[in-house]
A = this chain, B = another copy of it.
């Protein structure tokens, strides 16, 4: 059996190439495949064009062990992925009686008229296995090639694609022998720039090393990603964990999350660990802090108040008032206002000992600037909640 070590991803749909819709499927699948130890060779977005998609499939099949397409499985004449796969592998599609029964039953239960154009969604080529779709009318295809390569075609809507991947495709790929045993660790950093991280890590960042250590500057953190392989999953995990420990030791006091957590998720974890609830008040931010924290905090949030610019005279008093009025443990007040070309961010925290911190950020505002102010407040809060201590990360 051919091992599946490399993959290419095709995203099919003219809405992508005219820039009307942003593709999230390729990035999601790339992350999942990378985590499974598969090397993604390229990701391509294509218009609804039979010849173009057919050629891209043929080229991909010459390069990669696994080809995964998303999109183009609908019932309209624009949906051409089935035709393209059939052309690329030289087979003819026909209506599969079992799929047709399933599809007609679906329309019946919905009380909808079955137009014959829908029959296309019951097509299959001889070498294809249908992939059940519990959230839509487009089954996927799993196609085994004689040389051991595999083509998987999935629908475009993520709410259909993701369950099909998780429930059918991934287990089957794993049974078939997917990727090299590998493991990934992520350290998210605050209060340190990417260049200083690079300096502290030095030779650990060698790009040919295994475990491979790489840094990424993101809007909400500097990330350090560690990827290790091994003769089996356990060895890969152990090697990744050992390197993560070495990296963390060089970056003590800056690691605010181990794994792909958000600021809100980490703050919610710390509040839960301490059995505390939080009240927020912010001004000059247009709700940037509520946008960052309200959803992930859930019932750890007593309430959140957004005030207009200039609506918060004393952050220290406001934090204490928020804590007292909400009858909760921690109150945080965030005020953002311009001063001499800079933006001054003032954060006051009440509860567990009062605290006031001021950060001066070199920008004048805008949604991005307000977002950075909210991130600064979140970092001060998480530190206050003990979230930067070496034993605090989950």
Contacts and interface: CB of A to CB of B under 8 A. Distances in A.
Contacts of A391: none
Interface string A27-66: 1111111100000111111110000100010000000000
A41 B214 CA distance: 33
Nearest to A368: B159
Contacts of A18: 30-31, 34, 40, 227
A47 B30 CA distance: 12
A16 B43 contact: yes
B370 A21 contact: no
Interface string A181-214: 0000000000000000000000000010000001
* Among A31, A41, A286, A307, residue most surrounded by chain B Cβ atoms (within 10 Å): A286
A30 B16 contact: yes
B30 A216 contact: no
A27 B19 contact: yes
Nearest to A17: B40
Interface in A205-240: 207, 214, 216, 218, 223, 225, 227
Given A78-B207, A287-B294, A311-B303, A19 B45 contact: no
A304 interface: yes
Contact of A216 (B20, B43, B302, B311): B20
Given A47-B41, A290-B287, A27 B23 contact: yes
B43 A44 contact: yes
A22 B24 contact: yes
A299 B43 CA distance: 42
A309 interface: yes
B225 A20 contact: yes
A324 interface: no
Contacts of A308: 299, 301-303
* Among A41, A45, A297, A302, residue most surrounded by chain B Cβ atoms (within 10 Å): A45
A290 B309 contact: no
Contacts of A3: none
A108 interface: no
A369 to B, nearest CB: 12
Nearest to A293: B287
Nearest to A31: B19
A367 interface: yes
Interface string A279-303: 0000000111011011101110111
B299 A295 contact: no
A15 interface: yes
B43 A30 contact: no
Contacts of A45: 26, 42-44
A339 B291 CA distance: 26
A331 to B, nearest CB: 14
Given A290-B294, A291-B291, A41 B17 contact: yes
A271 B307 CA distance: 18
Please name the 10 residue pairs, one residue from A and one from B, whose CB atoms are nearest each other, closest first. A287-B294, A19-B31, A19-B30, A304-B306, A43-B45, A18-B34, A291-B291, A17-B40, A286-B295, A290-B290
Given A18-B227, A286-B295, A287-B294, 15 more contacts: A16-B43, A18-B31, A19-B29, A19-B30, A19-B40, A20-B31, A42-B44, A290-B294, A290-B304, A291-B291, A291-B294, A301-B308, A303-B311, A304-B305, A305-B305
